[in-house]
Structures are given as structure tokens and as C-alpha cells.
Amino acid sequence: MTESTTAETSPRAAQLPERAQRVAVLGVGAVGALLAEAAHQAGHRVTLCVRRPLDSLTVERDGRRRRLCLPVTTSPDMVSAPVDWLLLATKAQDTPRALTWLRRLTGPSTTVVALQNGVDHHERIGPLLALGELLPALVYVSAERLTHGHVRHRWGRRVAVPAGEAGTALARLLAGTEVEVTCERDFTTAAWRKLLINLAANPLTALTLRRVGVLHRPDVRELARGILTEAVLVGQAEGARLEVGDVEQTLDFFTAMHPHSGTSMLQDRMAGRAVEHDLITGAVVRAADRHGIPVPLNRAVLALLRALDDGGSVGVQSTLTGVG
């Protein structure tokens, strides 16, 4: 495997855009690392905001390894001024604990890009922002964090955002990089379709400790079909233009995947981390309650996922191809 080291003096980094933007990446896991790489690739001034010190950031892609030497900040107290862009890539359940970071990094002209799962970005994150504009984002990228500061990209490069000035600005920010930003006119429908992908595979792989191949079982596929059918009805009530065909398309997506592929929720459980049930299954149940729609399958799955919080994580590292 070849390795290329990229620092602030690299030729690509020296080709700065007309005005290099100040970009902070809060949460440098798999997604955060790939977005940091892209922003650096575009010639912007990128700072990594992490809890533990980081000497360098390594990204593996297509058999090549790229090492980035970027400024690192390990405490909100070290932040001297707001940034132009804050790429929020923490786990959703960790966002409230990042409140001090959010307040130090944001100003009136800051755009906060929420690179998190779920369909309720504004409801969750909006109240935490005293200043700045929130831009929800859907990440269609598969990657895994091998170690602290070392990420392997698997597939995908698209990040979808709502159409508008902020979305267009993000597309310009990352133009010509490994990340492609698309602007969705119907972001509500796009967000619910992404939620369907997460809803089908994430909980079932995490609960069974099996990879995506578990969905190839006829009985598990039928369970997933029921979970998704409930969610489609809820999404429609929320204004998403979902159809019954979205259920089969989602199931076919996983049928086409390699059975040894994994999911982000399975990765988290294998590593002993909390799983993001509140933003996936929990989001469906909360929306169902708002509309009085029965979702017994999703409610049962949510109860089982919450039980994992009581010590059900296995704490065994595993190399998985992530989805969602």
C-alpha cells in the first residue's frame, strides 16, 4: 500500500480558494475525518476539535493512505474566535455534551452542518445554537474508524442538504473534492428515505450481533418489511412523499449488499459504545405518537435497543463495513 503525506505546505493545500474558509470539525470519527479531508483538500483552514490529542489524521481510500497534519483543539477554552463553518459529526447522543464547543465555535455568520442520522435535526440541535445557521445533512458514505485518527473509506461520497443558499455554499466549499454535495428540493422525503435505510438494518444487526447477511433470512426480511411499512405510514404523516415501493427498494438495497457488510449501530455495539437508537427507531416512535399511528414493531425494537443501554454492549472490536 502506498502512502502520501499531506501537510499545510502540500501543493494541493497551497492552491487556496479565493477566500479560504475557517472550518472546524467537531467529532473526528469516520464521517468527520472524511469531511475534514475534503475541506483540507479544497484549501480551507481546517481545525479538528477532539477530546484526545491527535498527532495526525490518516484516511485510507482506494488502496491509498493519506496522512493529514492539521491543527487540533482539545478544549473549547482553546477556541479564540468563531469559525465560518462548523461540521458537526459527533454521535447524536453526544451533541448536548458538546454545548460549550458549539457556543465557542459559532458566531452570527457560522453555518453549522449537522452530519448526523435522524429526521429532526432542527428540533434537536436548533435550541443549542445561540448564533449561526443550522444546515441538516444526509451522509451517503460508508467508512470505518480503525483507530483514533485512522479511518478507512469504503464506498460513497454524497452528502445531501436542503436546497437553498446555505446548501449551495456548502457545495462550493467542497467543490472538486472527494465529497459531492447535492441540494435536495424535497429534503423531508430524502431524510425519511435515508431513515428507512438505517431503520431496516441498524437495529436488527445490532440486536442479533450479525452482519447485513442476517437480512437475507426470509423471517428477518419479513420482520424488516413490517418495521419499514410502519415507518412509511409515519413518514407520510410527517409530509414525506413515501410509497409502499420504498419498502421493497430498501430491502433490495440490502439484498444487493455483501452479506459480510456491517452497520454503524453494529460497529458501536461491538466496540462497547452506546447505539444511536433514539435518532433512528426512536424518531419513528416519537413521530408516530404525534400522529396517533400504531407502530408495535418499532416500539418493540426500541425497547430492546434501550435495554442495551443497561450493559448489553459486548465491547469487542470488529472490522466492519459500515452503513448509515
Residue 313 located in a structural domain:
no
Q: Do 35 and 168 reside in the same domain of the chain? A: yes
Residue 217 located in a structural domain:
yes
Whether 194 is catalytic: yes
Residue 220 located in a structural domain:
yes
pLDDT of residue 144: 84
Q: Do 216 and 171 reside in the same domain of the chain? A: no
298 contact partners, CB below 8 Å, separation of at least 6: 199, 227, 230, 231, 281, 284, 285, 288
Residue 95 located in a structural domain:
yes
Q: Do 145 and 41 reside in the same domain of the chain? A: yes
Residue 297 located in a structural domain:
yes
Domain that holds residue 77: 2-185
196 contact partners, CB below 8 Å, separation of at least 6: 228, 231, 232, 235, 242, 246, 247, 250
Cell of 316: 469487542
Domain count for the chain, please give it: 2
Cα separation of 245 and 223, whole Å? Answer: 16
**Catalytic: which of 66, 145, 194, 277?**
194
Q: Do 179 and 164 reside in the same domain of the chain? A: yes
Cα separation of 111 and 86, whole Å? Answer: 6
Q: Do 198 and 152 reside in the same domain of the chain? A: no
Residue 305 phi, psi (nearest 5): -65, -40
DSSP assignment of 268-298 equals HHHTTPPP-TTTTHHHHHHHHHHHT---HHH
Cα separation of 48 and 111, whole Å? Answer: 16
CA distances from 88 to 33, 82, 123 (A): 11, 14, 15
Instruction: Look at residue 112 and give its three-state secondary structure.
Output: strand
Q: Which of 139, 159, 185 is at the close of a domain? A: 185
Q: Do 101 and 122 reside in the same domain of the chain? A: yes
Q: Do 162 and 292 reside in the same domain of the chain? A: no
Q: Do 264 and 161 reside in the same domain of the chain? A: no
Residue 56 located in a structural domain:
yes
Cell of 163: 436546497
Which sign, positive or negative, has the C-alpha torsion 140, 143, 144, 150? negative
At position 270, the amino acid (one-letter code) is M
Cα separation of 270 and 267, whole Å? Answer: 5
Q: Are 171 and 42 in contact (CB under 8 A)?
A: no
Q: What CATH code is carried by the domain that includes residue 107? A: 3.40.50.720
Give me the tens of pLDDT residue by residue for the chain, a chain 324 residues long: 334 333 333 334 434 555 799 999 999 999 999 999 999 999 999 999 999 999 999 999 988 999 999 999 999 999 999 999 999 999 888 888 899 999 999 999 999 999 998 898 999 899 999 899 999 999 999 888 889 999 999 889 999 999 999 999 999 999 999 999 999 999 999 999 999 999 989 999 999 999 999 999 999 999 999 999 999 999 999 999 999 999 999 999 988 887 888 888 998 898 888 888 999 999 999 999 999 999 999 999 999 999 998 764 455 444 444 445
pLDDT of residue 92: 81
Cell of 189: 422525503
Q: Do 22 and 166 reside in the same domain of the chain? A: yes
Q: Do 171 and 281 reside in the same domain of the chain? A: no
Cα separation of 282 and 290, whole Å? Answer: 12
Residue 318 located in a structural domain:
no
Cell of 11: 501543493
pLDDT of residue 181: 98
Q: Do 254 and 150 reside in the same domain of the chain? A: no
Of 266, 258, 168, give the one whose Cα is nearest residue 208: 266
Quickly tell me which residue has 484549501 as its cell: 43
Q: What CATH code is carried by the domain that includes residue 301? A: 1.10.1040.10
Q: Do 193 and 77 reside in the same domain of the chain? A: no
Quickly tell me which residue has 492552491 as its cell: 15
pLDDT of residue 95: 87
Cα angle 235, 304, 141 (rounded to 5 degrees) comes to 55
pLDDT of residue 142: 85
Global pTM value:
0.86
Nearest-Å Rg of the Cα atoms of the chain is 19
Kindly give the residue spans of alpha helices, DSSP state H, lying in the chain.
11-14, 30-41, 99-105, 121-125, 165-173, 187-208, 218-237, 244-255, 264-270, 281-291, 296-308
